[in-house]
Structure 1
């Protein structure tokens, strides 16, 4: 038998789909909805969790549950390690940036090839479209490679594409590992996504010609808010004459 909260989710989903409840509109209070459907608030919250997991409803702390606007997807350009300038240049998209000196944690040691506890620069970039977080990047680089004046208080900029790109000079090699997985607690909090949800996770490691890791980046995007594209270029050389 179907659970009651699924029936409630179906009804609310139908109202959203048909436009009875408009994008951006605040839903009635949880207590009010529970009274309307003659269920407990626990059951009602389970129904809302279904819609939140689908990306149809967003809960904003202290304000309530809102019908989400259809998401404009951002394009991540693999191989270049950046966001597509066209999809990242919307006026509503902004990025909050913070750079600090931290110590290398155990999970970063294999990526950075540095001993645990070594000082490293961490730059955290969180992009927003309006009130909705769009992507989270944690960029790590050796302290001696940090551009002058990069450390300081949080600031907000409009150039999302460059803030998710490599911070240093072009590397000799760039390796990107992509997977879909559940968000970590920190990612779920920063990106305001619930469970069950998935993030597109990109681990990017840049090295110079000597093999030194000059930057390691951990990026997480909500799965419904980004497309990643990777282009392979085949180089066809001239055949050597056979003798």
Structure 2
């Protein structure tokens, strides 16, 4: 029934593209769609899953399947070494931040190069475009580098970045690892995406001039609307040779 699944997905996709089914509109129930296309419910759900992976349709538990509003692309600009992870957006996103005091465990001890149970501050940042989640960041900083001025009532991650940039040591190295993978259940839930939709995951580690790690950031963007740009600057001396 693979061909039937794709033909149903093609028909619904065309209806969405032509505007016959509009953004934000709820699709007929799965039972109604299955009857309309004369297929079994599993085949119909398989067709909807194709559109969910493409980011055209969103299934909301207990409410049904909805046509997603088109979301603009967001570009992550690498090498900045800052808490401000939401860059190159056409208009400001609504970003909320939650700070939590935790102890270093597992991979965090390796990323931050600290002993187990070291005191850390976690910044959990979730951005929204309208009502839809857009991107997610978990940022970890050694507690002694986060004065009380940063831990107050912070409505946005950008405000945390502005305060933290003034207070922390200057960075000398930013190392970023980029991968494409499936989201964890928590990430899929927070971003309201299908667990079958790949995400762009960036692990960013920032060190100061003494080589102490001052920040580790785990950034997650839905793969259907995210780009990452990294620029290399070469130093050229007066003779025209690269340094």
The reply on whether 1:66 has 2:70 as its aligned counterpart is no
TM-score normalized by the length of structure 2: 0.86
Structure 1 pair 166–31 and aligned structure 2 pair: CA distance change class (3 A)? farther
| 1:131 equivalent in alignment to 2:127 | no
Q: TM-score, normalised by structure 1?
A: 0.86
Alpha-carbon distance between aligned partners in 1 of 2:162 and 2:194, rounded to the nearest angstrom: 27
**Paired residue secondary structure (1:172):** strand
Aligned to 1:87: 89
The answer to whether the Cα contact below 8 Å between 2:24 and 2:67 also exists between their aligned partners in 1 is yes
Alignment gaps of 5+ in structure 1: none
Distance in 1 of aligned mates of 2:155 and 2:42: 38
Matches within 5 A, 1:137-176: 137-151=137-151, 156-157=155-156, 167-168=164-165, 169=168, 170-176=170-176
For residues 48 and 86 of structure 2, what CA distance do their matches in structure 1 show?
A: 33
Q: Does 1:76 align with 2:79?
A: no
RMSD (CA atoms): 2.5
Displacement, 1:222? 0.4
Q: Per-residue displacement from partner, 1:113-166 (whole Å, max 9, x unpaired)?
A: 11222221111001011122111100000101113244467x643xx6566789
CA distance in 1, matches of 2:91, 2:235: 32
* Corresponding residue SS for 2:2: coil
Shift of the alpha carbon at 1:85? 5.1
Q: Distance in 2 between matches of 1:237 and 1:166?
A: 36
